[in-house]
Amino acid sequence: MAKHYHIEAQAGDIAELVLLPGDPKRAEYIATHYLEDAKLYNTVRGMSGFTGTYQGKRVSVQGTGMGMPSAGIYIHELINVYGAKKLVRIGSCGSLQEKVGLRDIILAMSACTNSAMVPRRFFHQTYAPTANFDLLYQAYNIARDKGVSVHVGSLLSSDHFYDDTGEDVFRWAEYGVLAVEMEAAELFTVAAKYGVQALAICTVSDSLVTGDETSSEDRETSFTQMMEIALELA
């Protein structure tokens, strides 16, 4: 196997479909509540990774931490060391639109970013990170079959959670961006480079419009609709 630093799994331990929550506790929750015969394959830096079966299909779930630098490490190793073919971020986001409320689900077909990580690859020219259409289409139809109403559109992947730069985040909202999170743009970019499929499914944990928010426990254990949509992609 190629050299790696952050995942201690052996060859064959990780499925071709990998769900990517930022929170390793969410990975553990999914493994415990949804996967059969789940096996823990990674504990390095506390980033739990599990592989099991969902309705007879192998699925892995790997915590990535917060932000594009952390997520990018796991995405790179999952693809290049362990042969992952479909990577689906399942995470929380902050709504930028009045019509997108608490606990609503967003299927991201694209991701803007204020990070230097993506433009650095293109000598600071513009690149448009986008989801894989097949995964997006499947997820949309799964949601419809389940009776789950979803928003489809663009996210903003930000480098800052606590932002003191004075950037007007609602400038992005004026151009239709639905919500802000911290990983999707890097996921889409790395997946595109290596020719694998990627999608981001996010649940609204707080609203920058109304100030409403969920608890950390809610974010860990109650955002089950996006988990189930992602698992059905197996």
pLDDT one digit per residue (tens) for the chain, 234 residues? 556 689 999 999 999 999 999 999 999 999 999 999 999 999 989 899 999 999 999 999 999 999 999 999 999 999 999 999 999 999 999 999 999 999 999 999 999 999 999 999 999 999 999 999 999 999 999 999 999 989 999 999 999 888 887 778 899 999 999 999 999 999 999 999 999 999 999 999 999 999 999 887 777 666 899 999 999 999
- Other Cβ atoms within 10 Å of 148 Cβ, number: 15
Instruction: Give pTM, 2 decimals.
Output: 0.94
Question: If you compute the radius of gyration of the chain from its CA atoms, what whole number of angstroms results?
Answer: 17
By the 8 A CB rule, do 187 and 198 touch? Answer: yes
Give the pLDDT of residue 143: 97
pLDDT for res 222:
64
> What pLDDT is stored for residue 220 in this prediction?
67
Secondary structure of residue 88 in the 3-state scheme = strand
CA-to-CA dists, residue 181 to 30, 63, 96, 169, angstroms: 21, 16, 11, 12
Is the distance from CB of 185 to CB of 111 less than 8 angstroms?
A: yes
Out of 134, 145, 163, 206, pick the active-site residue: 206
Q: Please report the pLDDT score of residue 160 as a whole number.
A: 86
Given this model, what pLDDT does residue 215 score?
84
Q: By three-state DSSP, how is residue 25 classified? A: helix
**Which domains are present in the chain?**
17-232 (3.40.50.1580)
- Is 206 labeled as catalytic in the residue annotation? yes
Residues sharing a CB contact under 8 Å with residue 139, sequence separation 6 or more, in sequence order = 107, 199, 201, 229, 230, 233
Q: In Å, how far are 60, 113, 183 from 203, measured between CA atoms?
A: 20, 19, 14
